[in-house]
Chain A
């Protein structure tokens, strides 16, 4: 075990991946509380798949991948926030339409690019082991922005999730804050793509808070638990990935799913015991 840990922590590939992976774990665990409270799981699915259009654009126009995908994701998230309200269709259907349309556009754009330019498997399922210095810098700035947003608006977002009507009647700018929330969720989704890929990103934005939901009693306790589950899942997932040469993103998601199962079983047993 000690040999394994020593090999893991001295591996240059893993050392390069550890910082961005843990940074993403901190950001996603914090945002996952808002995703669950505002019931935005499907939005994260939609935005992550729609970001393929951004990646396709970046490949076609030779633009930097992550920033282009981030701008696309934020624009799509804002459209999803605005479109249903303006056009009288529900958010669920709006997400479905934009999700399918932009994913289709992404597939067409990427299929026209040279195959050696695009690591399609990496885009779909993530590969933090291939993270570049530029990607790390980009993830760091993105994380700083998301965490700063949370420091400013977390309590208002929380209050809106609990009771939107009363929050609005209290004099909070709920429409503006909702747009900010969607934009920050869009940005977080793109940051996760490097780690978990388009297909698995939702897991990172749902599972940490879902594990904590059974035990949290306040925003602070929920955040601390969510952060703990996220870091445990990320570290153990990366170790699994290193040990068995499994894809890193999928290993982390499987580990978080196991955490969820244990957490759920624990809560269930506690409930039975208290009867």
Chain B
């Protein structure tokens, strides 16, 4: 039996009085596509940064690909990891072509200029073009990254995360700057990578309705995993209320929706699982 790609055991992060994550345990197998939802400040981004090895938890144990994540193994394990953090508002104003931004995702990019003289650049070029092709940005490969729209920049960042063909992909609100057409394309692409390349994807998203037909499971997070809904499972109303408070109004989606109860008198295909009262 192969070890899970991600194994978190009793993770705690933050102060003792006000922990951001508390007693969080989670196991994710290879090829699994997991959506992580939760209210603002629930610790979703913190969880991803901990798994990415950028933050050290106050307590608990992390195994990635069957190996313990610690300061000695971190850099080696990160070689098999792709990470896309939340889009920044204060982007650095550095002249860069789209091609170079994607190249930064390859380990070979960071070797010395002397070593690069003897490197196989054809293979590198093929990998970059393939990644750009996945996000439909091939036509912009020589464009100045600063001149792209927010959505295009996000797709290039995604290509940078994908270019090294990671075993584990961590995405923090990847659809934030994308229009609905590209959002759907993104989820389809991620589903395909999980099925065909056995890639494991952990994705933080707010809109459960948008991701529900693509993901294998949804983890409801607020300091710890309140509920882990697999395909066909229903997320109980009390879990929603526990996470978001009493002011949410639960509405139903279609029958295939993870965590939804198909209710006959409710209209199907609502835009979101949570509705805030005005």
Q: Taking beta carbons and an 8 Å cutoff, which residues of A are in contact with B?
A: 37, 150-156, 158-159, 161-163, 165-173, 213, 216-219, 221-222
Contact = CB atoms under 8 A, between A and B. Distances in A.
A166 B91 CA distance: 13
Determine the main DSSP class of B at the interface with A: mixed
A218 B113 contact: no
A218 B83 contact: no
A161 B110 contact: no
B113 A154 contact: yes
Nearest to A150: B113
Interface of B: 52-54, 74-79, 81, 83-85, 92, 94-97, 100-101, 104-105, 107, 109-114, 144, 157, 160-161, 164
A151 B113 contact: yes
Contacts of A218: 95-97, 100
A151 B114 contact: yes
B95 A155 contact: no
A167 B78 CA distance: 10
Nearest to B53: A169
A165 B54 CA distance: 8
Given A151-B114, A217-B95, A166 B83 contact: yes
B101 A162 contact: yes
A37 B94 contact: yes
B94 A169 contact: no
B144 A217 contact: yes
A140 B92 CA distance: 33
B144 A171 contact: no
Contacts of B110: 155-156, 159, 170, 172
Given A151-B114, A152-B112, A171-B79, 16 more contacts: A151-B113, A152-B114, A154-B113, A155-B110, A156-B110, A161-B94, A162-B104, A163-B92, A165-B54, A166-B83, A166-B104, A166-B157, A167-B104, A170-B83, A217-B96, A221-B95
Nearest to A216: B95
Nearest to B101: A162
A169 B144 CA distance: 24
B96 A169 contact: no
A37 B104 CA distance: 15
Contacts of B161: 166
- Interface hub of A166, A167, A173 (most chain B Cβ within 10 A): A166
The 10 A-B residue pairs with the shortest CB-CB distance, nearest first, are A171-B78, A169-B83, A152-B112, A171-B75, A216-B95, A156-B110, A159-B104, A169-B52, A151-B113, A171-B79
Contacts of B52: 169
A214 to B, nearest CB: 9
A222 B95 contact: yes
Given A170-B78, A171-B79, A162 B94 contact: yes
